[in-house]
Structure 1
């Protein structure tokens, strides 16, 4: 058989040197790679300059929200936000830590960047549920048992906490076993379980031991609560007892399944 002609071989060579089949990757040319690399470097340098060197993205204002007792100025002063610094470089975690350390009244704080020039401080203050009298002042205690502030005037509607822990009697054993902080937390738990109508007239939460907590209400009325256990059941029992015996002055819900009341 005769071999391929010169023309046929030329056609085959032309076909093999033509464009690559569809779907086959063609590597970019060196010039394209260089142009892209230069563009990325320029864009990166511009971004860095904009964030760190530009005066447009520097801290210019600090806003405060959520305060009740504290003033916005107190929060700003404690936060020590570096006004004038690049906004991107501000350590928001450090600011939050400073606020909680310097202002124990703050329970939760969110520190957020507000582009292009602001820092927002959103605080939630602790709410006192009990007061411990100390000299002529009052220590505020929140619902976690944290003693967070000393005030000269008692807030309205917040009962006093009285720790009657005599070390000379059997109550000393309760104090040694649980500790004063634990007993304060037990009182806080009781304060949180008191029915709303009763809480409004509660003047004192008295703690003698872990299982001997009582309430002193307005008008000389008293409630024997017992321990902080079964608080919801005790609250229901007290509400029902007060409705059934409106003239009673003493109530005992230490055993909620067998509550009792008396007029003397």
Structure 2
């Protein structure tokens, strides 16, 4: 079989020698285009980042101009605004909302929770939830308010309406003394708070005093002079239902005992 002719062999050598030099010429061009694209993108991103930083921190468009307050009942918006110390005029992005919340809780113990939020483009919003007293403790001529966590959060000159007064009838001797040594005064206060929180709404409105003698000897005195032996704070929901039923069954009774809710009693007329 005859091999390729001399002309064919010369054509194949020319074709082989022409390929690689062309690829070598195109490769630097592609690299330059790719490098140019990377440089342009890097410059664009740098400018965009610098512009964003300037807009957030350097411009006058996104600065704190107002502080809005919501949720106050006893406190005034002016009191909250003064305690918050929001840096009006500062860049909105730089305001430390956690620090604002901490200042408010420290300076105004009446505040239970607070949420400080940015309100773009110019505001800070403070959403406040105040503590609600469930008991009061007389102290001199004033009254200390106690919330449902047992926190004594404020002293007021006038007792709030429909909030019973706490009386601690504690002694260092006998069963009362043993209860005081075992649980401590703070724990007994919390037990009284639990009782106050368990009262039926109709009874809570007319409760005048919650008296604590020991852990399992807590009683109520109502505005009309009727009394309720509640016992401990345990099984509060059942005791509340039992007391409601007992008061309906014996409307003229002066004393009710739900300390053992499965065996309630009433007496007096």
TM-score under structure 2 normalisation?
0.90
Question: Is the counterpart of residue 138 in structure 1 residue 115 in structure 2?
Answer: no
Partner in structure 2 of residue 230 of structure 1:
235
Partner in structure 2 of residue 2 of structure 1:
4
Paired residues of 2:112 and 2:129 also in contact (CA < 8 A):
yes
User: Which of the pair has more CA radius of gyration?
Assistant: 2
**Displacement over 4 Å in runs of 4+:** 3-18
**Distance apart, 1:237 and its partner CA:** 1.1
Q: 1:10 to 1:201 in 2, by over 3 A?
A: farther
Distance 2:224 2:217 in 1: 22
Question: Is the counterpart of residue 160 in structure 1 residue 165 in structure 2?
Answer: yes
Number of positions where the alignment pairs a residue of Structure 1 with one of Structure 2:
257
Q: Secondary structure at the match of 1:204?
A: strand
Partner in structure 2 of residue 239 of structure 1:
244
Q: 1:256 to 1:42 in 2, by over 3 A?
A: same
Question: Is the counterpart of residue 188 in structure 1 residue 193 in structure 2?
Answer: yes
Distance 1:97 1:10 in 2: 83
**Distance apart, 1:194 and its partner CA:** 0.7
Q: Secondary structure at the match of 1:208?
A: strand
Partner in structure 1 of residue 221 of structure 2:
216
Partner in structure 1 of residue 93 of structure 2:
88
Deviation digits for residues 219-253 of structure 1 (CA, Å, limit 9, x no counterpart): 21000000001111111111111111111000000
TM-score under structure 1 normalisation?
0.92
Q: Which blocks of at least 5 consecutive residues in structure 2 are unaligned?
A: 24-29
Partner in structure 2 of residue 99 of structure 1:
104
Distance 1:179 1:14 in 2: 100
Partner in structure 2 of residue 255 of structure 1:
260
Distance 2:13 2:205 in 1: 105
Paired residues of 2:258 and 2:265 also in contact (CA < 8 A):
yes
Q: Which blocks of at least 5 consecutive residues in structure 1 are unaligned?
A: 19-25
* RMSD (Å) for aligned C-alpha atoms: 1.9
**Distance apart, 1:30 and its partner CA:** 1.0
